Amino acid sequence: MSAADPNNPRPDLWFPRDGMELRAVDSGPEDGEAIVLLHGFPQRTSSWDRVAPLLHAAGYRTLALDQRGYCESARPRGRRAYRLPELVGDVIALLDSAGLADAHVVGHDWGAAVAWGVAGAYPNRVRTLTAVSVPHPAAFLTAMVRSDQLLRSWYIGFFQLPLIPELMLSSPGPRPEKALAGMGMTPEMIQRYRDEMVATGAIPGGLGWYRALPFAAPGAATAKVRVPTTFVWSDRDTALGRGGAERTREHVDADYRFVEMNGVSHWIPDERPAELADAIVDRARSAPGVGTGG
């Protein structure tokens, strides 16, 4: 569960938040501009293992956050503990603990939803945003009624059920593997899921993010993002369709780039790390007053 750079080993960064202890893998050049990396479901910080070294080579420091519900010492009970403002607050606490006034923020899957939230609520703390796979929340909601996104998102309703999703996702049989393989996961990624999510008991916490959705504040997803933004989407993503991807531009009031990866599944950081790293670095270097990271 590490995105650590073997050439620049450092202890993980632990920091307090609401009586919990959260962890971030801190690696790369210590004097480089910081990039916060936010994973999605059902993965942890290792989802950035192929991307982070490329960012380090470009001169950037990375902080890969093991998010609440996943990190063993930060698994609160109750669905409300996983509302978006709490997840956003974890990222701000990370920046504060690392002594960073701001950072480039990158998120994949649910991590992208958190990244959108951080950029929308705290634009002064975000130099640039690179969101991967998940569109702006307002674009996603529009796509739910104007495209096939509602059908693609059937599992969100299923995850609201008590206990059954945990049992299915933790089953030792072939059912979870078949579902994940259908979304594009390789056998290696599925084994990582077994080791990092199932064996460590992270499944209930990860599901907590979905179960907090009914408690979302009305209108919270409508705010435009006003920081330089790149949105990266792949055309073989079975969970997220083109409808939300193409509407995201409407919700960014700043320099915006849309990067479409053809023939790629949902798992962009694992499948196309070099292209994703290029998109992140290009975005980071494009920001006014931002250098090269080295």
The tens digit of pLDDT for each residue in 218-275 reads 666 678 999 999 999 999 999 999 999 999 999 999 999 999 999 999 999 999 999 9
- For residue 58, pLDDT over 90 is answered with yes
- For residue 44, pLDDT over 80 is answered with yes
- For residue 290, pLDDT over 60 is answered with no
Annotation marks residue 82 as catalytic: no
Annotation marks residue 109 as catalytic: yes
- The structural architecture, per CATH, of the domain 13-286 is 3-Layer(aba) Sandwich (3.40)
Residues in Cβ contact with 191 at an 8 Å cutoff, skipping those fewer than 6 apart: none
Q: Is 0.85 topped by the overall pTM?
A: yes
The pLDDT value given to residue 176: 85
Confidence tier at 291 by pLDDT (50, 70, 90) = very low
Q: How far apart are CA 53 and CA 58, in angstroms?
A: 9
The pLDDT value given to residue 216: 87
Confidence tier at 95 by pLDDT (50, 70, 90) = very high
pLDDT in tens, 19-32: 999 999 999 999 99
Which residue is it, tokens 């693609």? 152
Q: How far apart are CA 294 and CA 291, in angstroms?
A: 8
Instruction: Locate 196 and state its tokens.
Output: 């990092």
Residues in Cβ contact with 179 at an 8 Å cutoff, skipping those fewer than 6 apart: none
pLDDT in tens, 122-147: 999 999 999 999 999 999 999 999 99
Q: Per this entry, what is the length of the chain?
A: 294
Extents of the domains making up the chain: 13-286
The pLDDT value given to residue 293: 41
Mean model confidence pLDDT for the chain? 93
Under 8 Å between Cβ of 22 and 2: no
Confidence tier at 1 by pLDDT (50, 70, 90) = very low
223-261 as b/e: b if 16+ CB within 10 A: bebebbbbbbbbeebebbbbbbbbbbeebbeeebbebeb
- For residue 217, pLDDT over 90 is answered with no
Which one of the listed residues 70, 82, 266, 270 is annotated catalytic?
266
What are the Cα distances from residue 73, in Å, to 16, 53, 200, 223?
10, 26, 11, 32
> How large is the average pLDDT for residues 150-174?
92
Instruction: Locate 11 and state its tokens.
Output: 């202890």
Which one of the listed residues 66, 210, 237, 251 is annotated catalytic?
210
Annotation marks residue 210 as catalytic: yes
Which one of the listed residues 109, 237, 251, 270 is annotated catalytic?
109
